[in-house]
C-alpha cells in the first residue's frame, strides 16, 4: 500500500478468524474462507499472517505475538483484537456453583494491561500496532445462546437479574480499548462504532449474537479497505 504497509500480522480471536454460527453444516461453528481481512488483503494486495485463534483470550493472543517475534516473523503492522472471550464468564462453572464468586475470564484491569504489553512489544520491534474494537453484542441472542444447557437462575444471579449486563460488560471492555488507544496514541479501527452506525447491525450478526455473519464480515472488509491505507506506519 502507499503508506508502506505491505505485510500485516493479526493477533485476535474467532472474529478475525472468520467464525460463523447457524449454518447448514451441522457444526457448532464454521470458519468462512472469505473473512474480513482475507477480503481486504485481496483488494489491497498486502501479505496476511493471520494468527487469530478461535476462543482465544488476550493472554493467549499475547503468546502468539511473542512467539512470532521469537521466530523472527516481523510485519509492518500488527492488528490486535481481543475481548469477547475475556469479558465472558465460564457459564458451566457459574451454573454449577451459583453461590461462589465468579469473575470474567480476564478482568478488565488485566485485559488492558495485556493489550498495553502487546503494543509495547510491537513498538519495541518496530511494528506499528493497530487495535480493533469488538463488534457490538446482540444481547438477546447472546443471552439465549449462553443459556443452552445452563441453569438460568444461576446465570441471572451473576447478572443481578439483568441480562442487559451482558451488553454493558461487553461495552465496557470496548470503551476501555478506545480510551487506552487515545491515551497512548495507538491507532484504532473502531469496528463497534462502524457497525452501530450501520442501518441495522443486528442483520450483520449471527444467531449467537456475538459473531458477525457473512454479510457482517463483508461489511467489516469494507471498513478495512477504507481504513488500512490511512494507517500511519510508525517505523
Residue 175 has pLDDT above 90, yes or no: yes
75-115 pLDDT per residue, tens: 999 999 999 999 999 999 999 999 999 999 999 999 999 99
Question: Whose CA is closest to 177, among 79, 66, 57, 82?
Answer: 82
Distances (CA, A) of 225 to 15, 23, 47, 148: 17, 27, 14, 37
pLDDT tens-digit readout, 116-167: 999 999 999 999 999 999 999 999 999 999 999 999 999 999 999 999 999 9
Position 208 pLDDT exceeds 80: yes
Q: How far is CA 132 from CA 104, 178, 194, 203, 226, in A?
A: 20, 9, 11, 21, 14
Q: pLDDT at position 72, please? A: 96
What pLDDT, on the 0 to 100 scale, is given for residue 26? Answer: 67
Residue 21 is predicted with a pLDDT of 85
Domains of the chain (ranges, CATH numbers): 7-230 (3.40.50.1110)
With b meaning 16 or more CB within 10 Å and e meaning fewer, what string describes 197-212? eeeebeebbbebbbbb
Average pLDDT over all residues of the chain = 96
Residue 60 has pLDDT above 90, yes or no: yes
Q: What is this structure's pTM?
A: 0.96
Percent of the chain residues topping a pLDDT of 70: 98
Q: Is the pLDDT of residue 25 over 90?
A: no
Amino acid at each position: 500500500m502507499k503508506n508502506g504497509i505491505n505485510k500485516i500480522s493479526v493477533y485476535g480471536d474467532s472474529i478475525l478468524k472468520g467464525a460463523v454460527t447457524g449454518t447448514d453444516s451441522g457444526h457448532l461453528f464454521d470458519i468462512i474462507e472469505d473473512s474480513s481481512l482475507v477480503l481486504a488483503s485481496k483488494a489491497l494486495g498486502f501479505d496476511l499472517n493471520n494468527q487469530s485463534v478461535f476462543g482465544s483470550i488476550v493472554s493467549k493472543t499475547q503468546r502468539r505475538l511473542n512467539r512470532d517475534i521469537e521466530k523472527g516473523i516481523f510485519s509492518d503492522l500488527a492488528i490486535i483484537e481481543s475481548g469477547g472471550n475475556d469479558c465472558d464468564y465460564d457459564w458451566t462453572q457459574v451454573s454449577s456453583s451459583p453461590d461462589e464468586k465468579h469473575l470474567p475470564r480476564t478482568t478488565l484491569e488485566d485485559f488492558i494491561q495485556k493489550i498495553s504489553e502487546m503494543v509495547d512489544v510491537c513498538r519495541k520491534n518496530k511494528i506499528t500496532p493497530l487495535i480493533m474494537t469488538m463488534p457490538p453484542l446482540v444481547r438477546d441472542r447472546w443471552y439465549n445462546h449462553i443459556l443452552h444447557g445452563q441453569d438460568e437462575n444461576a446465570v441471572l444471579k451473576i447478572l443481578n437479574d439483568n441480562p442487559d449486563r451482558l451488553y454493558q460488560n461487553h461495552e465496557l471492555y470496548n470503551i476501555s480499548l478506545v480510551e487506552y488507544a487515545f491515551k497512548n496514541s495507538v491507532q484504532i479501527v473502531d469496528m463497534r462504532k462502524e457497525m452501530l452506525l450501520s442501518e441495522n447491525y443486528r442483520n450483520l450478526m449471527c444467531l449467537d449474537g456475538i459473531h458477525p455473519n457473512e454479510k457482517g464480515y463483508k461489511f467489516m472488509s469494507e471498513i478495512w479497505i477504507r481504513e488500512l491505507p490511512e494507517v500511519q506506519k510508525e517505523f
